Amino acid sequence: MFQDLSFALPSGTALVVTGANGIGKSSLLRTLAGLVVLAGGTLRLEDGEDDRLPAEHAHYFGHQNAVKAALSVLENLSFWQGFTSPVTTSAYQATALSPEAALDLLGIGHTIDLPAGFLSAGQTRRLALARLLVTPRPIWLMDEPTSALDKASEGQLLDLMNGHLAAGGLIVTATHTELALAKTSILHLRTTDPVFPEEEDLPA
């Protein structure tokens, strides 16, 4: 449970959440995404034109890729495009890509008709990332976003994240990797209680 946690994030800024393993970085992202019920306090997105909750403005790019192995790559992406609705605000305007264009941009256009279960870990991660491009939303919640990506794909991901910020979007990301983002704030989670001990500290 979080206590005395407060932050404000202006348009076009990424909040990089850091801290030890088990400290609650993923829990914070899930709370922002509406997957964990808020026990107290408030979450507010300041935009006079929209009364939806912050979670309804967000994409959640977590550890799980939310890909159905038996469906084709195109079927997976088309499902997510139909399941989620685009959101724009006065500060954030973006154009949706077609599934085909998003897959081509991410270098997996050649897999479009393959069952998603045939993809490598890196290709599956890029398919999950394509969801953020076919349905624009101003908030990207990203948990270790570079996981399973090679160096070239990491560079492309950073370009997409910086492009999202340039369009007025917000990013909240939990990561142990230094990310070359254009405008960032740091939120370092800490506790006076012990988290998970290192292996060498465990009793024999």
Q: Model-level pTM? A: 0.88
Rg value, the chain, Cα: 18
Residue 199 has pLDDT above 60, yes or no: no
Q: Band of the pLDDT at 58, cuts 50, 70, 90?
A: very high
Q: Please check whether residue 171 is in contact with residue 14, taking contact to mean a CB–CB distance below 8 angstroms.
A: yes
Gap between the Cα atoms of 101 and 193, Å rounded: 48
Q: Please check whether residue 65 is in contact with residue 142, taking contact to mean a CB–CB distance below 8 angstroms.
A: no
Ordered alpha helix ranges (H), 45-98: 73-83
Which residue, 190, 197, 172, 145, is CA-closest to 24? 190
Q: Which of 46-50, 134-138, 197-201 has the lowest mean pLDDT?
A: 197-201
Residues 6+ apart with CB under 8 A from 165: 12, 13, 14, 171, 181, 182, 183
Gap between the Cα atoms of 59 and 57, Å rounded: 7
Structural domains of the chain sorted by starting position, each given as residue range(s) with its CATH number in brackets: 14-190 (3.40.50.300)
So what's the pLDDT on residue 202? 41
Q: How many helices (H) and strands (E) does the chain have?
A: 5, 5
Q: How far is CA 155 from CA 51, 179, 199, in A?
A: 35, 10, 33
Q: Please check whether residue 1 is in contact with residue 39, taking contact to mean a CB–CB distance below 8 angstroms.
A: yes
Gap between the Cα atoms of 180 and 203, Å rounded: 40
Q: Which of 48-52, 139-143, 149-153, 198-202 has the lowest mean pLDDT?
A: 198-202
Output the six-digit token pair for 179.
Answer: 């990310």
Task: Give the tens place of pLDDT for each residue, 166-184.
Answer: 999 999 999 888 889 989 9
